[in-house]
């Protein structure tokens, strides 16, 4: 590894598959914008058209060349920030969301703490070097895994090229994603590049194969592309998704004594799977079900829960459903009940 700090995690479990100085605080350059995008998506309406504030014009470093009072959507600003690493776009989003970069940085820090990134502190929205603007490889991986759960975030960071209009200025911008692994690495889905002289080359990537999703982070890595290829290859060789049950698969049969059918078949609502890291953690399904099925049970009705454990840890859960409806045994007509009563009475009388 050329990286001074690096980490590789599997996103669903947050299991660490590789780490090198992953918990030391370091500057992260434009990978800062991962958090900026998360906060923008969670706090702004993406289709809203705004006028660019003068405070976002002419920002140092990489830019999409915003003009004062230019009309542009929040969504296009996020694309401009994540694909072309526009520092001006990041600043425009910060001002729109909280009125100032300082107040937006507070929002970023609050969000980081909520995610679980405890060794991170943001001083700006774009990643330009400042004292006390830092993260760790581990924290940045957690932040990225969180962001990838947002469909809009995942779509934006996986986009290779995007045309965005320049609103009232009347000419298009063609944005090309700086993350070359989107074109070079099979399964790559994002996320963000970064560089300043003081921070060095910083890179966060995500990739997904056969149901396994990985996030790789390197900070101050002269050979970051090759670092990531090696680590992602290593991760996919270690982690395999194992399916224990499919959606709609048969689970068990319950007695239904007061129904015409007499039995009720129970199926899984969703599939159950876990990530096998080759550590010998065997799967086990536990469940919560009644002893008998009610005769009024309808097809698709939830009757219980199933829990998948791996190595004693809860991995997934799903509802258990009735695969078909039951028909209650109809009550006997009054005359039939009366007739049975008379027969029983006579039988007892004669027998007595």
Q: Name 307's Cβ contacts closer than 8 Å, sequence gap at least 6.
A: 285, 286, 287, 288, 314, 316, 317
Instruction: Tell me, yes or no, if 158 is annotated catalytic.
Output: no
Cα 179 to the center of its chain, rounded Å:
20
Instruction: Tell me, yes or no, if 206 is annotated catalytic.
Output: no
In SS3 terms, 293-342 reads as CCCCCCCCCEEEEEEEEECCEEEEEEEEEECCCCCECCCCCHHHHHHHHH
Which residue in this structure is represented by tokens 């090696």?
A: 230
Catalytic residue among 33, 123, 162, 192: 33
Catalytic residue among 5, 62, 63, 85: 85
First-last CA distance in the chain: 97
Instruction: Give the span between the Cα atoms of 340 and 252, in whole angstroms.
Output: 37
Instruction: Give the span between the Cα atoms of 171 and 158, in whole angstroms.
Output: 24
Cis upstream peptide for 94 (omega within 30°): no
Residue 4 vs residues 33, 132, 135, 221, 270: alpha-carbon distances, Å: 21, 19, 13, 6, 42
DSSP helix/strand/coil, 87: helix
Instruction: Tell me, yes or no, if 324 is annotated catalytic.
Output: no
Catalytic residue among 30, 63, 105, 273: 30
Query: Is residue 229 exposed (0-12), middle (13-18) or buried (19+ Cβ within 10 Å)?
Result: middle
- Kindly state the tokens that stand for 187: 């399964």
Catalytically active residues, by annotation: 30, 33, 85
């Amino acid at each position: 590894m050329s990286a001074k700090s690096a980490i590789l995690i599997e996103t669903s479990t947050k299991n660490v598959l590789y780490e090198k100085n992953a918990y030391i605080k370091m500057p992260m350059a434009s990978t800062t914008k991962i958090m900026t995008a998360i906060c923008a998506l969670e706090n702004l309406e993406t289709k809203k058209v705004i006028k660019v504030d003068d405070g976002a014009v002419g920002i140092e470093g990489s830019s999409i060349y915003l003009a004062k009072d230019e009309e542009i959507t929040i969504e296009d600003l996020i694309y401009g920030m994540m694909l072309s690493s526009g520092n001006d776009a990041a600043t425009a989003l910060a001002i729109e969301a909280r009125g100032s970069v300082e107040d937006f940085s507070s929002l970023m820090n609050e969000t980081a703490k909520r995610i679980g990134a405890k060794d991170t502190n943001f001083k700006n929205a774009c990643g330009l070097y400042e004292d006390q603007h830092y993260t760790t490889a581990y924290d940045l991986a957690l932040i990225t895994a969180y962001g990838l759960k947002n469909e809009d975030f995942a779509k934006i960071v996986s986009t290779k090229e995007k045309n965005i209009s320049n609103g009232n200025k009347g000419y298009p911008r063609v944005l090309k994603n700086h993350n070359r692994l989107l074109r070079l690495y099979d399964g790559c889905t994002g996320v963000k590049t970064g560089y300043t002289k003081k921070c060095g080359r910083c890179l966060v990537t995500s990739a997904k194969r056969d149901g396994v999703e990985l996030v790789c982070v390197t900070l101050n890595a002269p050979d970051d592309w090759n670092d990531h290829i090696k680590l992602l290859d290593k991760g996919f060789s270690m982690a395999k998704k194992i399916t224990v049950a499919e959606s709609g698969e048969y689970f068990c049969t319950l007695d239904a004594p007061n129904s015409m059918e007499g039995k009720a078949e129970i199926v899984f609502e969703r599939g159950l799977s876990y990530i096998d890291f080759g550590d010998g953690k065997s799967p086990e399904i536990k469940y919560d079900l009644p002893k008998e099925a009610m005769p009024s049970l309808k097809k698709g009705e939830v009757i219980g829960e199933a829990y998948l454990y791996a190595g004693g840890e809860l991995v997934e859960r799903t509802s258990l459903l009735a695969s078909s409806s039951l028909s209650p045994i109809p009550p006997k007509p009054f005359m039939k009940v009366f007739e049975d009563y008379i027969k029983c009475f006579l039988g007892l009388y004669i027998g007595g």
